[in-house]
Amino acid sequence: MVPLTDHSGLPPERRADLERRLAPLTLLQDVVRWGFASTPPRDVAAVVVQDEFTHDVVLPWEETRYLVFDTT
């Protein structure tokens, strides 16, 4: 499972639920498909290039929270 770093202070039960939902997402393709299959659909909001190999992919999650996936 990919580690989840929580910078928003989610309650433990919500964090555990999010970890369960994100656990199957191992490829960027999985993330994008998960986003579009969500209700409401979540599209990639931004891609932040870190270097030639690493990008951060940002998706809206809920209200003012976002999920950021580090991809290599």
Q: Does 24 map to a domain? A: yes
On whether residue 64 sits in a domain, the answer given is yes
Q: Indicate whether 63 belongs to any domain.
A: yes
Is 22 a member of any domain?
Answer: yes
The pLDDT score that the predictor gives to residue 72 is: 78
Please list, residue by residue across 18-40, b when 16 or more beta carbons sit within 10 angstroms of its beta carbon and e when fewer do: beeebeebeeeeebbebbeeeee
> To 5 degrees, how large is the angle CA 6–CA 28–CA 22?
40
Does pLDDT of 2 surpass 80? Answer: no
* pLDDT of 1 strictly over 80: no
Residue 5 lies in a domain: no
> Per the domain annotation, does 4 fall within a domain?
no
Domain limits for position 41: 12-71
Q: What is the pLDDT of residue 63?
A: 83
Instruction: Indicate whether 57 belongs to any domain.
Output: yes
The share of the chain scoring above pLDDT 90, in percent, equals 71
Tokens of 49: 């290039």
Is residue 37 scored above 90 in pLDDT? yes
- The pTM is what? 0.83
CA distance 48 to 68: 10
Number of compact structural domains in the chain: 1
Residue 2 falls within a domain, yes or no? Answer: no
Average pLDDT over residues 4-9: 90
